[in-house]
Amino acid sequence: MFSKISRYRKQPDIVAIDNKGLVLASRDLRLLPEVSGTFLHTVEEIDRLDHLAYKYYKQPRKWWRICDANPEFMSPQALLGKEPVVTDRFPLTFNGDTAQPPWADLLRHLSETLGVECVKIVDDISLVPEEQTHNGQLVTVYAEHFERSVIVTYNNMNLSAEDLAGIITDTGFEVSQPENIGRTGKKIIIPPDVVA
């Protein structure tokens, strides 16, 4: 028996057979519905889906409507940036022989670390304003600022950002403060409250 607001209430009953040949009553697979919305909520560190559902729908059990509207996340935990698998960006500098930075060693050490799922090196180029005097006049010149970072996806139950920063510095790089690449500070869709 399902609540009248349950997303599984209208799903048909099916019979499934498990790997031991037992016949089990179940509900059919719920396909993700088309959900749209233009209202965006900026995710904060303290957010919980049931609290957001109460805030926007006055019904905490409707958190799944928010999940349906944001399908790029595999779980409600991922939606709020609280999933054990996280992604951090580590800005790097190398003060050794700049002709031969040990990129291969860095990738190998990080990839071989228990709990690391993915490692990639990215180049970030930004324009930085600099004030200069030209012919007695103060002008603003925009110079390209080049920065290289390593982005690591890892299980934070096995590792911490500090552990990874230690591996990076042991390889010969200097690492700046890591930045979490999650949903905190980003916008998610809050769909209108309609009966599904």
The pLDDT tens digits of the residues spanning 16-56 come to 888 888 888 888 877 777 777 888 898 887 888 889 999 99
Position with higher pLDDT, 124 vs 75: 124
Domain boundaries 31-83+184-190, corresponding CATH code: 3.10.350
Residue 19 confidence (pLDDT)? 84
CB atoms near residue 88 (< 10 Å): 21
Mean pLDDT estimate for the chain: 84
Domain with CATH 3.10.350 in the chain: 31-83+184-190
- Which segment, 10-24, 111-125, 175-189, is predicted with the most confidence on average? 111-125
52: left (phi over 0), alpha (psi -120 to 50) or beta: alpha
Closest residue by Cα to residue 42 from 194, 193, 186, 190: 186
Mean pLDDT of 124-133: 82
pLDDT above 80: residue 192: yes
Instruction: Extract the tokens encoding 32.
Output: 């993700």
Domain with CATH 3.30.70.100 in the chain: 85-180
Residue 193 confidence (pLDDT)? 85
Confidence category of residue 81, pLDDT binned at 50, 70, 90:
low
Contact 37, 189 (CB under 8 A): yes
pLDDT above 60: residue 196: no
33: left (phi over 0), alpha (psi -120 to 50) or beta: beta
pLDDT tens digits, one per residue of 140-175: 888 777 788 999 999 988 899 999 999 999 999 999
Residue 136 confidence (pLDDT)? 87
| Options 3.30.70.100, 3.40.190.10, 1.10.3720.10, 1.20.120.330; CATH of 85-180 | 3.30.70.100
Mean pLDDT of 54-68: 90
pLDDT above 80: residue 15: yes
Ranges of H-type helices in 24-183: 49-57, 63-69, 76-79, 103-111, 161-170
Instruction: Tell me the whole-structure pTM to 2 decimals.
Output: 0.54
pLDDT above 80: residue 138: yes
